[in-house]
Structure 1
Amino acid sequence: MSNSVHKRVIQIKTAEFFAEKQLNTDASAEETLDGLMEKIADAKAKLEEIKQEQYRIIEEGKARIIEEKQQWQEEKIRLVEEAKKEGYQAGFQLGKEESRKEYERLLTQANEIVEKAQADYYRTVAKHEDTILHLATGIAEKILKKKLSEDPAHFLPLVQSALKEMREQGVVKIYVHPSKYKAVLENKEELQELLEHDAKLSIYIKEDLSEDGCLIEHPFGRLDAGVDTQLDQIREMLEQLQQENRE
């Protein structure tokens, strides 16, 4: 009887052992499966991260290419504009220099014309000494109540002396800066009225004067005036000169 009981106990323990072992095996397999699923999920997540990173890198590369292309276009435009500007400046400087030379040539030509006109005036007067003598004779006849009909040649030296005096003392020259030449020239008639009718007024350009500078040469010397006073100083100088001449 005791042997029968002992066998049942062994059989029961054996069954319990195998049942427990089976449970442990199932639990281990389940844990292994869960671990694999977790690793698979992690791998998928990392793969997705890699894909996102690749996409980001590609998009950044595209954006950088577009940006660099835009920068190159802007740089190309800037270089073209800069080249145009440099070319324009070079052309402008060349044109400016040519214009300055042409301006100086015209100034020289204008002054030469004035000088030639002045010389021609004196030559014309010299050619008509006989006519002037005739006019002077008529004036002398009225003033002195005496007709110089006996020998008009005696009056010729007086006329020649007067002409010489006119050349040396009857000319007033005004020198101004080129920027003020037009303004003074437009008032030449008004300035001329301040002088005697037989006085000769000439206006010249003098580049080395300051813009508001004015130089007046007259028989008694030289006067310095300025255009910035709107010709008042010139008028005053001429009036003073005329007064001294009359005295």
Structure 2
Amino acid sequence: MIFSCGQNFSDSGTSEIGHDGENFEELLDIPLTEQPPPPPPPKNISANEISRKLIKSGRLELESKNFQKDRQVILDYLGKFGGYVEQENENNSEFRKTLFLTIRIPSNSFDSMFILSTAVGRKVINRSVNVEDATLRYLDLEASIESSKALENRYREILKQANSIKDILEIEKSLNSIRAEIDLYESRFRNLSSKISYSSLEIILSENVTVAENPDLGYLNKLINSFGYGWKGLGQFLLGIVSIWPFILVAGLIGFLIRRRIKKK
């Protein structure tokens, strides 16, 4: 329908379109998804010419001897391969320290980074690697962007030949819809391309914290400490008495009055 309309516009001129907008109405009544753009030039691409688009991700859980030292070793490797830290969290408890690192590495360096990281720390607790083939998704998005842009260009050509306000408004409305669709496709394509170009690796470093026990102080030290505790207890007792002096004063006064009354009888 688009091709036939475009041919009519070029043959009859703009004056005919201005007098009769039926061709535009017929075009715009068809949903955008059912209006194919001009076919792209034929491409003879063999299966060997299509490079696979792979998304690699991994997870490493390591037990560490020296928490900060092992962290620095990983960051040094990361800088060597041109990667970066996407997220870092540290969790410390009384008996254990844990570091959560999410890093992004160029895909061609993922395997080397993963192997080197397994040698960090005292031992590997858990490790896993996942590879997702995103070739079809990549090609589908690429084709959708190309097709939508071709349709957008076709509408722009038609818009240049439109004279009536109604036709112009309808075509511009369709162009806005197509542009929104293109923006969505391109956003998804950028996100997918980023995942393909930079692999993700989650590294968990954990270190056990040893609680030092108090050594036996010996009898003499215990005796000295006992004197200290006794003196401290006496001080607390005196402070307690001082804090209740009003009650003692009232009790003494009541006792004095009672004894005086008894003597009078």
TM-score (norm 2): 0.16
Instruction: Give 1 or 2: higher helix fraction.
Output: 1
Structure number with greater CO (CA < 8 Å, separation at least 6) is 2
